[in-house]
Structure 1
């Protein structure tokens, strides 16, 4: 099992090349095209990011789980929602309703 984990990138590249070398009529199937695109994306991600593609969901979850900038951290660009509503509609915002 360690051998498979160690050479998984090379195995994916070999499968991708094998799929590309299939005869034209078999390559036009949607399932084969989907597999080629997914394998290509996975190989590209692993080569660019230098980490397994299985780490991507954790990275995305961490990115979207961060808190946004607070008013004190970003004074020049942060607008409170109440201020935006009041500026747009000209009436004091009452967001509790």
Structure 2
């Protein structure tokens, strides 16, 4: 594994600290700098909390959204049969 890939979290945190503390104040008001600060803060925070790279977040979201819903047997209080629900709604 390369040195850059191994220490990417520390590099992102160092860049964030550099942007927040060491950039002159007239540059801090620009939207691009603010956007970079927000993106770096989110990326660093995500990696610290989730213990995985930010690049795996889209696949995690995709897996969560593609899961099947609850079956009738699993969740009897919240499951409604679509046919009976449409009969109740539209009085067919």
TM-score normalised to the size of structure 1? 0.86
Match of 1:48 in 2: 49
Structure with max Cα Rg: 1
RMSD between superposed Cα atoms in Å: 1.3
CA apart distance, 1:2:
0.9
What number of residue pairs does the alignment pair up?
Answer: 91
| Runs of 4+ that moved beyond 3 A | none
| Structure having greater relative contact order (Cα 8 Å, sep ≥ 6) | 2
Match of 2:4 in 1: 4
TM-score normalised to the size of structure 2? 0.90
Residue ranges of structure 1 left out of the alignment (5+ in a row): 93-97
Residue ranges of structure 2 left out of the alignment (5+ in a row): none
